[in-house]
Amino acid sequence: MCRSIKPLRLPDRPATDEEIRAAALQFVRKISGARVPSRANAAAYDAAVDEIAAVSRRLLDSLTPRRMR
């Protein structure tokens, strides 16, 4: 699956909005098969990135903190 997406649930700090958006962008690129969308699809592409980033933030915020080993 998306091998370039790094785990964002870190034990020492919360993920930044930039890290979450970058992961969402990689996911949308992977599932859409397009690194850059056409002008006709740009709005849908950007909306998908925004939605996935928002859902990812809610998920990370709702998980219990990981312990450092």
Query: Could you report the per-residue pLDDT of 7-43, keeping only the tens digit for each?
Result: 888 878 889 999 999 999 999 999 999 999 999 999 9
pLDDT of residue 69: 61
pLDDT of residue 64: 83
Buried-exposed string 11-42: b where 16+ CB fall within 10 A, e elsewhere: eeeebeeebbbbbbbbbbbeeeeeeebeeeee
pLDDT of residue 3: 66
pLDDT for residue 2 is more than 80: no
Kindly indicate the confidence band of residue 4, based on its pLDDT and cuts at 50, 70 and 90.
low
